Amino acid sequence: MMNSLDELLAAAGPVPDISPDGLSNGRAALNAALSSGHFAPAAGAGRKPGSWLSGPRAKALIGTAAVTAGAAAAAIVIAVPPSSPAVPAGSPANPAATLTAAAVLDQAAQAAGSQPGWPNARYWYSEDKYTCGGQLYTDKIWIYRYGNGVVEKTGPRNSDSICVRGLGTFPLYPAYVFGPYTWSQLYALPTDPARLEPRLMADHGDTVYQHPVTAAQWASQQASFEDVMFQLTDTPAPPALREALFKVAASIPGVKVTGRYTDSLGRTGTALRLGSYTMVVDPANGLILDENPDTGSSTIMLITEGPAASEPKLGG
Amino acid sequence: MTGDSRSDGELLAGLPRQPELMGVLYERHARAVFRYLARRAGRQAAEDLLSEVFITALSASARVVAHDSGSALPWLYGIALNVLRAHFRRQPAAGVARDLGMDWDAVDDRLDALAERGRLRAALDGLADSDRELLLLVAWEGFTPAEAAAALGITQVAARSRLHRARKRAMKALGKFHATPGTPELMTTFYAQEKA
């Protein structure tokens, strides 16, 4: 059983070489095109002559299929059916109210912004639970303000499973960064959403778009939304920044409420979706409960996060 | 095989006036482009689409320049990706499920014997198309993040940030961090790749 992403990718990488016939047939087709002078690509296959792969263009191609669905949904009030009394764990539930994504995110912003700060925290602690092989595992992570960190893994022993190859406490990475930011850079980010949004897009390399967003900018919206959520999970972003991050997310058009979601721990949040990305937030406390819960892969539940003064000792 | 000693950059620079130079690029890179296509769409589709990539490239060569690495491959892979997406759009909905970048059956076939079918899909399914392609360009095609950035038309900063995000999410989907006592293997690899 392969245990790592890299092993899986390596195993799936090799493919047979092209057959001699395939190679010569391709060359013959190219020669025919060269002889005819007809270089136009097949319908829908490529770009206009001389205009390949500028960033916005490439992203527009990526997002074209979902433009219609995503372009202008932020202001749409989603009418949802009454809630069902029985909600299967880990599955979307019927929403009980009429909600907009912006309203949910604004509520989360207020909750996140009202939390006490942690300006002098030495560690950022987060706890995730995930189901794997039908069993529940827990990761507790301490990220040191000035680099390094520790992860403590607990759960049933199962040496044959991908779920865990070792239980105990291990060093984390040499120097964890939060996307493009270090801890101190996170603290230096602007907390005015109007200033934060272009800064985030620039620092994450997203195409800067203008409001209102056009169809061609749709893929950029999704990337920006994901980048905002990335900064809200497992990072020590201070309360004022978290509030601003949620407000930036609320301003990104196209986000839809897909319903309430109850995870296997019985926690309920609101599922929001933009393109292929789904996140679940509890607007009452601003905690991101889960990301992409509907992908069919291992469900990751974000239990708690906050400042910590010390880290545990290494060892199993 | 070509005996032409000109660099990819020189060939690309000459393409607008001498489109026949695409033949040299074909001899030089057709096998690599085929492998790129085959990893994502399977062998038969890759053979069918190979010439389309180079013919499409002819129509897109007016302003192309080689990547800093000197290779034309980032450019050709960028075109191949769009050819693939167009190919998948043309498929019946019941055939290739609405994934415009990948035929998962073709990927699963390579993992079947190792009882890994579906696991890689589980790891990559939750990624945005562009993030997944970035990850695969690095993992499967051996690109540096800078070359992958060129292929996808994004900045190097964006590529590094998204590679970080893609690997983190994919590893979470695989069951989080797989640490062996004393060896924080994945995240060390991850970090090293980020710094490359």
pLDDT digits (tens, 9 = 90+) for A170-226: 766 545 567 678 888 899 999 999 999 888 877 766 555 556 555 555 556 777 787
Torsion over CA of B21, B146, A230 and A220, rounded to 10 degrees? -30
- Cα–chain center distance at A134: 24
Q: Tell me the whole-structure pTM to 2 decimals.
A: 0.53
Structural tokens at position A265: 């721990």
The answer to whether the CB atoms of B184 and A53 lie below 8 A apart is no
pLDDT digits (tens, 9 = 90+) for B155-187: 676 777 778 778 877 777 665 433 333 333 333
Model pLDDT, residue A132: 63
Model pLDDT, residue A48: 24
Model pLDDT, residue A240: 96
b/e code B72-110 from CB counts within 10 Å (16+ = b): bbbbbbbbbbbbbbbbbeeeeeeebeebbbbbbebbbeb
Is the Cβ of A26 closer than 8 Å to some Cβ of chain B?
yes
Domains and their CATH numbers in chain B? 1-114 (1.10.1740.10), 118-196 (1.10.10.10)
Is the Cβ of B196 closer than 8 Å to some Cβ of chain A?
no
- Cα–chain center distance at B143: 8
Please give the residue that has the higher pLDDT: either B145 or B66: B145
The answer to whether the CB atoms of A5 and B167 lie below 8 A apart is yes
The answer to whether the CB atoms of B26 and A227 lie below 8 A apart is no
pLDDT digits (tens, 9 = 90+) for A64-106: 222 222 222 222 222 222 222 223 344 444 444 468 999 999 9
The answer to whether the CB atoms of A204 and B158 lie below 8 A apart is yes
- A45-54, A166-175, A183-192, A282-291: least confident range: A45-54
- Cα–chain center distance at A98: 25
Whether pLDDT at A6 is above 90: no
| Chain A residue with the nearest C-alpha to that of B128 | A276
pLDDT digits (tens, 9 = 90+) for A128-139: 877 666 677 788
The answer to whether the CB atoms of B175 and A165 lie below 8 A apart is no
Facing A179 at nearest CB: one of B114, B164, B171: B164
In this prediction, residues A147-176 reach a mean pLDDT of 66
What stretches of A188-302 show up as alpha helix (H) in DSSP? Answer: 193-203, 218-232, 239-251
Instruction: Report ipTM for this prediction.
Output: 0.75
